[in-house]
Amino acid sequence: MARLTSWLSRVFPLALLPLAVGAFAQQEIQPQARDAALVNRVTWGATPAELAGAQKMGIDRYLQAQLHPTAPDKLPAAIQRHVDALSISRQSDEDARTIQIAIRQKAKELPEDEKLQANREARQIANQRAADVNARALWRAVYGNNQLRDQMTWFWMNHFNVNFQKGDIGVFLSQYEDRAIRPHALGKFRDLLVATMQSPAMLIYLDNTQNSAGKINENYARELMELHTLGVGGGYSQNNVQELARILTGLGVGSTLDPPKVKPALRGQIVQQGYFLFNPARHDYGTKMFLGHTIGGGGMREAEQAADLLARQPATAAFISRKLAAYFVGDAPPASLVDKMRRTFLEKDGDISATLQTLFASPEFAASLKHGVFKDPVHYVYSSLRLTYDGMPPITNSQAGVVLLKRLGQPLNQRLTPDGYPLAQSDWSGSGQMTMRFEVANFIASAPQVLYRESPDDRPKNVPQPPNLLKTHDSNSLFSMLSPRTREVIAQAKSTVLANTYLLASPEFMRR
Residue 14: pLDDT band with limits 50, 70, 90: very low
Distance, in Å, from the CA atom of 111 to the CA atom of 229, rounded to the nearest integer, reads: 48
Residue 409, sorted as left (phi over 0), alpha (psi -120 to 50) or beta, turns out to be: left
Q: Are the C-beta atoms of 444 and 472 separated by less than 8 Å?
A: no
Q: Are 217 and 208 in contact (CB under 8 A)?
A: yes
pLDDT tens for 131-145 read: 999 999 999 999 999
Query: What pLDDT score does 454 carry?
Result: 86
In what side-by-side order are the strands of the sheet with 271-273? 251-253, 276-278, 271-273
Rounded distance between C-alpha atoms, residue 138 and residue 45, angstroms: 13
Report yes or no: 470 and 501 within 8 Å, Cβ to Cβ. no
**The one-letter amino acid at 431:** S
Count each helix (H run) and each strand (E run) in the chain, helices first: 28, 5
- Integer Cα distance of 354 and 98 in angstroms: 40
* Pairing verdict, β 288-290 and 293-295: antiparallel
Helix, strand, coil share of the chain (percent; to 5): 60, 5, 35
21: pLDDT confidence band, cut at 50, 70 and 90? very low
Q: Are residues 409 and 377 in contact, defined by beta-carbon separation less than 8 angstroms? A: yes
Q: What is the pLDDT of residue 8?
A: 53
Q: Does 23 have pLDDT greater than 50?
A: no
Does the pLDDT value for residue 268 go beyond 60? yes
Chain centroid, CA 368 distance in Å = 22
Q: Specify the 3-state DSSP secondary structure of 271.
A: strand
Find out whether 160 and 196 touch, Cβ atoms under 8 Å. yes
Confidence label for 11 from pLDDT (cuts 50, 70 and 90): low
Q: Could you report the per-residue pLDDT of 199-220, keeping only the tens digit for each?
A: 999 999 999 999 999 999 999 9
Cα separation, 118 vs 13, in Å, equals 52
Question: Structure pTM?
Answer: 0.94
Q: How far apart are CA 24 and CA 270, in angstroms?
A: 59
CA distance linking residue 169 with residue 127, whole number of Å: 9
The half-sphere exposure of 76 on its side-chain side, counting CA atoms within 13 A, is 13
pLDDT in tens, 383-396: 999 999 999 999 99
Structure confidence by residue, pLDDT tens digits, 415-472: 999 999 999 999 999 999 999 999 999 999 998 999 999 888 888 888 999 999 999 9
H-only helix segments in 108-146: 112-143
Ranges of H-type helices in 206-299: 219-223, 238-247
Residue 476 DSSP symbol = G
Q: Return the closest-CA partner of residue 414 out of 198, 144, 133, 189.
A: 133
Backbone angles phi, psi at 312, to 5 degrees: -105, 10
Residues in CB range of 238: below 8 A, 6 or more apart: none
HEC assignment per residue over 153-181: HHHHHHHCCCCCCCCCHHHHHHHHHHHHH
* pLDDT, mean of residues 265-273: 97
Kindly report, residue by residue over 129-183, the tens digit of the pLDDT: 999 999 999 999 999 999 999 999 999 999 999 999 999 999 999 999 999 999 9
The 3-state DSSP class for residue 295 equals strand
Task: State how far the Cα of 503 lies from the Cα of 45, in Å rounded to an integer.
Answer: 14
- The alpha-helical segments, DSSP class H, found in 373-495 are 377-388, 398-407, 425-428, 431-446, 448-451, 469-473, 484-491
CB 75 within 8 A of CB 140: yes
Q: What is the pLDDT of residue 53?
A: 96
